[in-house]
């Protein structure tokens, strides 16, 4: 099986480059070799590679900056997935694409299921929803995997921000009125590999939108407290409200994702977010990786 991966240097892409070679030949691209803002470049890359599977891990992920760069965000998050889907349809390939919990408005009081009504409240979420719709319109076989609060020990993410602040200060304030499902990039990559094995070797050919996230709900404050506790950092974490930290892009107050459909279709049990976080931080706790600065 030949797999074309975009976004190899991103959080999820980096983990996918580790997880996918066991499935077949991997052709991994980054922004330098494939600019997703250029539809013609996308078409050339896919036609040159002739993949059986396209895994699109590239995205415009600067949620706040997207408010002032909506056109660029739309080209990468909204238009590019549609171009990839058209090329996948032409080849008869499977397209795996990552979306986000931010396609929801956060007004629900329990985890969102796949067919809940979408209503993004920021530009980033709107562009990701546009990408989902473009894929569905193209009619290719697809797995659109909505992820939530993605983090890792590389790149820029909430976990690394918390750890940096905790090393610099004796006391920090973290919002406690935003709830979601923190999910490591490694979990997403491993679950994607599992899903692809089912798609290739299984008797069924799954296609559609699935929620892929760790289990159970957390506030950002709870997540920060656990991360600091696991690493033994001496920093008090006080709860705060979102209103104390105004940002250009509004965040959903509750965007946890229900994953029963993914678990059933791909025969996997996704870990709780605390176990996922502990696994992510284990290399630091065992002295194999330096504490992020």
Of these residues, 98, 102, 124, 151, which one is catalytic? Answer: 124
Query: Where in 176-244 does DSSP place strands (E)?
Result: 179-180, 183-184, 208-211, 218-219, 236-240
Q: Would you call 124 a catalytic residue per the annotation?
A: yes
282's CB contacts (< 8 A; 6+ apart) are none
Helix (H) or strand (E) holding 198: helix 185-201
Rounded to whole angstroms, the Cα distance separating 238 from 206 reads 44
Burial of 258 (0-12, 13-18, 19+ CB in 10 A): middle
Rounded to whole angstroms, the Cα distance separating 291 from 153 reads 9
What is the separation, in whole angstroms, between the first and last Cα of the chain?
Answer: 39
- Cα torsion 100, 106, 112, 117 to 10°: value is -90
Residue 29: Cβ within 10 Å count: 22
Rounded to whole angstroms, the Cα distance separating 217 from 112 reads 11
DSSP 10: S
For the four alpha carbons of 240, 241, 246 and 252, in that order, the dihedral sign comes to positive
Measure Cα distances from 31 to 6, 20, 36, 39, 42 in Å.
8, 19, 7, 13, 11
Rounded to whole angstroms, the Cα distance separating 109 from 103 reads 16
Active site residues: 124
């Amino acid at each position: 099986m030949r797999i074309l991966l975009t976004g190899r240097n991103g959080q999820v892409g980096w983990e996918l480059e580790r997880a996918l070679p066991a499935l077949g030949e991997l052709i991994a691209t980054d922004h330098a070799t494939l600019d997703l803002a250029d539809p013609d470049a996308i078409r050339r890359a896919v036609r040159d590679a002739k993949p059986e599977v396209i895994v699109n891990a590239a995205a415009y992920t600067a949620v706040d900056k997207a408010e002032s760069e909506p056109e660029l965000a739309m080209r990468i998050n909204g238009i590019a997935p549609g171009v990839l889907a058209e090329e996948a349809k032409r080849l008869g390939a499977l397209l795996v694409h990552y979306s986000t919990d931010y396609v929801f408005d956060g007004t629900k009081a329990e985890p969102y299921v796949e067919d809940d009504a979408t209503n993004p409240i920021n530009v980033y979420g709107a562009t990701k929803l546009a990408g989902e719709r473009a894929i569905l319109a193209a009619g290719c076989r697809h797995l659109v995997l909505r992820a939530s609060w993605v983090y890792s020990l590389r790149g820029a993410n909430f976990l690394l921000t918390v750890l940096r602040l905790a090393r610099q200060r004796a006391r920090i304030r973290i919002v406690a009125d935003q709830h979601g499902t923190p999910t490591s990039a490694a979990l997403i990559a491993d679950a994607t590999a599992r899903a692809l094995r089912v798609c290739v070797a299984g008797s069924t050919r799954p296609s559609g939108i699935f929620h892929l996230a760790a289990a159970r709900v957390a506030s950002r404050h709870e997540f920060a407290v656990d991360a600091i506790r696991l690493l033994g950092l001496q920093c008090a974490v006080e709860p705060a409200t979102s209103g104390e930290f105004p940002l250009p892009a509004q965040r959903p107050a509750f965007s946890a994702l229900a994953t029963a459909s993914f678990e059933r279709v791909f025969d996997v049990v996704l870990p709780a977010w605390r176990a996922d976080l502990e696994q992510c931080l284990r290399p630091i706790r065992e002295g194999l990786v330096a504490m992020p600065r």
